[in-house]
């Protein structure tokens, strides 16, 4: 029973963090109006959270060792909840952005620590089931976020998307305080306070100051460039250029320093393990596709189909529910089936689903979108579970938290890279398509003249004089220009999604790094406590 409650605690904590990453997006217009902010200014509500989150993700295991997992995890849940309430009470943009950064810093501890707790709660032969339970929260969170955010914003105002975390956060903090223990603690043995203090003391390591500086600068600047690059015209902006240089120098410095340091803040030596490296590369690809599609599809259906935020979020729910149902089955099958076959099947099926999604246009109905999005959800189940199982079963003790932190970091970075590339090339493809089509919107083009004539004839009943006829001619040109812009948008969407579909097949390459018969049947996870 205790193990089940720990798993429940970890799942709820994961959902708190993941949902809060996406729930804000649909409330941005309401925030702009209420706080008197521009789109560029309000975007820091999202950017600040993601940057802070990315910095803490890879070092959450190190922080957990320094302060003790119980204290660190419970404190971060309380801080996350308090920052959420402060966001809901914010009276200015500056105040809101500040508390979103605090929220992101606290939230960075929740995912890797929760994943480690879930993994430790199951015996090694059920590692696949542990990965399935964690994968369900990762899949459901980004899907529920926009729908829940849209509903709360429409009915109760944007502040409620933060305040709703209060009751859930209190429950999770209480559960964490009474259930979560430090790594090395054995509930079967009546350990004294002195013994527990000694365990925590032995887990602590000297503070890696330079590693921390390199990490904060490198990951922070990299995430900033990925989040703001497109909006600031990439390297036309001096700030983006400076941040890019700082990110490259700091990340190179981080790698050099951490590999030489006896007590690194970030254990990069894990990358010597080929299976770990392959799993991280695969998870990065999953991030590109998962967050890339969650970005581009809502943009498409809201612009072309006119769907609301709630309707858009509902498109992803069937796929997320199907993935949640399939994940335990996939986890159980890892005992008999080579994980590499499941991952390969997931990559191929997902690529096919994305290719089908690339054919969405102005005439595609919601029913027509159902099956490709459903297949997408099912395919992701064949990726999350085996990849997490393969990677985490390579480690034990505190190393599980380290590996989980890096896995989550690279999934998030993959998502940021995917969104940045898709946003940039999508806009460029639109411009190219529109320039080609607009060159034909002229009286010298026979087809354009015919369409213009038909539009003028359809407006003829509303025209009473020659001046009106001239106005109708101008209106027909405006309508044709709008049609060209819409068609350019559709063509840009279709091209970038098609590239994503074929490009994702490259994820088959890291499979060669994975060991045969890896996964749940590999070396023991750990001695549970």
Q: Which residue has the higher pLDDT, 350 or 435?
A: 350
Res 528: pLDDT: 33
Tell me which of 134-148, 198-212, 391-405, 457-471 is least confident.
457-471
Beta strand spans in 338-397 (E):
none
Apex 497 CA angle, 230 and 433, nearest 5? 70
**How many angstroms separate the CA atoms of 348 and 379, rounded?**
8
Name residues whose C-beta falls within 8 Å of residue 16's C-beta, 6 or more positions apart in sequence: 77, 80, 81, 107, 110, 165, 168, 169, 172
Calculate mean pLDDT across residues 464-486.
56
When computed from its CA atoms, the radius of gyration of the chain, rounded to whole angstroms, is 25
Topology of domain 2-207+265-430+490-513 in CATH is Growth Hormone; Chain: A; (1.20.1250)
Task: Give the 3-state secondary structure percentages of the chain, helix then strand then coil, rounded to 5.
Answer: 80, 0, 20
Calculate mean pLDDT across residues 307-312.
74
Calculate mean pLDDT across residues 232-237.
76
Predicted confidence (pLDDT) at residue 467 exceeds the cutoff of 60: no
Predicted confidence (pLDDT) at residue 232 exceeds the cutoff of 60: yes
In b/e form, how buried is each residue of 146-166, taking b as 16+ CB within 10 angstroms? bbbbbbbbeeeebbbbbbbbe
Residue 140's pLDDT band, with cuts at 50, 70 and 90, is: confident
Predicted confidence (pLDDT) at residue 31 exceeds the cutoff of 90: no
Cα separations in angstroms, 343 against 190, 258, 336: 43, 31, 14
DSSP-derived 3-state class of residue 206: coil
Res 434: pLDDT: 64
How does pLDDT run across 142-193, given as a tens digit for each residue? 767 777 777 787 788 888 888 888 898 999 899 888 877 766 555 545 555 5
How does pLDDT run across 213-224, given as a tens digit for each residue? 888 888 888 878
Res 248: pLDDT: 92
End-to-end CA distance of the chain: 16
**How many angstroms separate the CA atoms of 243 and 108, rounded?**
22
Predicted confidence (pLDDT) at residue 451 exceeds the cutoff of 60: no
Predicted confidence (pLDDT) at residue 522 exceeds the cutoff of 50: no
Residue 380's pLDDT band, with cuts at 50, 70 and 90, is: confident
In this prediction the pTM is: 0.76
- Cβ atoms 264, 208 nearer than 8 A: yes
Q: Which residue has the higher pLDDT, 516 or 38?
A: 38
The total number of residues written for the chain in this structure: 529
DSSP 509: G
Structure tokens at 352: 């096919």
- Cβ atoms 210, 257 nearer than 8 A: yes
Structure tokens at 76: 């971060």
Residue reference for tokens 């320093």: 257
Cα separations in angstroms, 22 against 19, 25, 273, 380: 6, 6, 33, 19
How does pLDDT run across 256-278, given as a tens digit for each residue? 888 888 777 777 888 888 888 89
- Cβ atoms 366, 312 nearer than 8 A: no
How does pLDDT run across 42-52, given as a tens digit for each residue? 777 877 888 88
DSSP for 346-362 reads HHHHHHHHHHHHTT--T
Q: Phi, psi at residue 358, to the nearest 5°?
A: -65, -15
Q: Which residue has the higher pLDDT, 515 or 9?
A: 9
**How many angstroms separate the CA atoms of 200 and 144, rounded?**
38
Dihedral in degrees, nearest 10, Cα atoms 257, 263, 267, 271 = 70
Structural domain boundaries of the chain? 2-207+265-430+490-513
Apex 80 CA angle, 77 and 85, nearest 5? 125
Residue reference for tokens 């034909």: 440
> Sign of the CA dihedral 314, 347, 520, 10?
negative
Burial of residue 43 (number of CB atoms within 10 Å: 0-12, 13-18, 19+): middle
Structure tokens at 447: 């087809």
Burial of residue 238 (number of CB atoms within 10 Å: 0-12, 13-18, 19+): exposed
The percent of residues above 70 in pLDDT, for the chain, comes to: 80
- Cβ atoms 112, 60 nearer than 8 A: yes
Tell me which of 303-312, 321-330, 379-388 is least confident.
303-312
**How many angstroms separate the CA atoms of 94 and 99, rounded?**
9
Name residues whose C-beta falls within 8 Å of residue 466's C-beta, 6 or more positions apart in sequence: none
Q: Phi, psi at residue 413, to the nearest 5°?
A: -65, -40
Structure tokens at 356: 């089908």
Calculate mean pLDDT across residues 115-133.
72
DSSP 515: P
**How many angstroms separate the CA atoms of 367 and 353, rounded?**
15
Res 213: pLDDT: 87
Beta strand spans in 304-361 (E):
none
**How many angstroms separate the CA atoms of 52 and 3, rounded?**
31
- Cβ atoms 174, 12 nearer than 8 A: no
Mean pLDDT rounded to a whole number for the chain: 78
Nearest of 312, 321, 291 to residue 366 by alpha carbon: 312
């Amino acid at each position: 029973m205790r193990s089940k409650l720990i798993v429940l605690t970890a799942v709820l904590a994961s959902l708190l963090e993941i949902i809060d990453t996406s729930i804000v997006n649909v409330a941005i217009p309401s925030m702009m109006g209420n706080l008197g902010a521009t789109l560029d200014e309000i975007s820091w509500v999202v950017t600040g959270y993601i940057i802070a989150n990315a910095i803490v993700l890879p070092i959450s295991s190190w922080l957990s060792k320094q302060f003790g997992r119980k204290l660190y995890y419970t404190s971060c849940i309380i801080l996350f909840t308090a920052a959420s309430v402060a966001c809901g009470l914010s009276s200015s943009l500056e105040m809101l952005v500040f508390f979103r950064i605090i929220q992101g810093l606290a939230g960075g501890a929740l995912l890797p620590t929760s994943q480690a707790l879930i993994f430790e709660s199951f015996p090694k032969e059920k590692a696949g089931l542990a990965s399935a339970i964690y994968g369900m929260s990762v899949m459901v969170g980004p899907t529920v976020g926009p729908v829940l955010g849209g509903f709360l914003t429409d009915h109760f105002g944007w502040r409620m998307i933060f305040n709703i975390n209060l009751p859930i956060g209190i429950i999770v903090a209480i559960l964490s305080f009474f259930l979560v223990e430090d790594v090395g603690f054995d509930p079967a043995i009546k350990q004294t306070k002195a013994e527990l203090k000694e365990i925590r003391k032995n887990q602590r390591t000297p503070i890696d100051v330079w590693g921390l500086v390199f990490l904060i600068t490198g990951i922070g600047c990299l995430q900033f460039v990925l989040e703001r690059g497109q909006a600031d015209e990439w390297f036309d902006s001096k700030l983006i250029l400076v941040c890019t240089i700082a990110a490259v120098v700091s990340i190179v410095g981080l790698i050099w320093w951490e590999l030489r340091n006896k007590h690194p803040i970030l254990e990069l030596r894990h990358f010597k393990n080929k299976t770990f490296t392959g799993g991280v590369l695969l998870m990065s690809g999953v991030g590109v596709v998962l967050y890339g599609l969650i970005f581009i599809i809502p943009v498409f259906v809201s612009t072309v189909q006119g769907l609301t935020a709630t309707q858009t979020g509902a498109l992803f729910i069937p796929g997320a529910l199907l993935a949640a149902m399939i994940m335990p089955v996939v986890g159980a099958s890892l005992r008999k089936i080579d994980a590499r076959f499941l991952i390969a099947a997931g990559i191929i099926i997902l690529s096919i689903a994305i290719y089908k999604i690339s054919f969405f246009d102005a005439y595609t109905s919601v029913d027509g979108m159902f099956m490709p999005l459903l297949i997408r959800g099912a395919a992701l189940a064949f990726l999350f579970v085996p990849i997490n199982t393969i990677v985490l079963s390579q480690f034990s003790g505190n190393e599980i938290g380290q590996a989980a932190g890096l896995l989550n970091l690279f999934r998030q970075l993959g998502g940021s890279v995917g969104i940045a590339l898709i946003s940039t090339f999508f806009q460029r493809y639109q411009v190219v398509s529109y320039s080609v089509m607009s060159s034909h919107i002229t009286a010298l083009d026979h087809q354009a003249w015919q369409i213009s004539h038909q539009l003028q004839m359809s407006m003829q009943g509303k025209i009473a004089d020659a001046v009106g006829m001239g106005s109708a001619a101008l209106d027909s040109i405006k309508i044709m220009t709008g049609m060209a812009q819409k068609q350019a948008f559709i063509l840009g969407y279709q091209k970038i999604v098609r590239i994503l579909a074929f490009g994702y097949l490259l994820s088959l390459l890291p499979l060669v790094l994975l060991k045969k018969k890896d996964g749940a049947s590999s070396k023991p996870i750990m001695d549970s406590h």
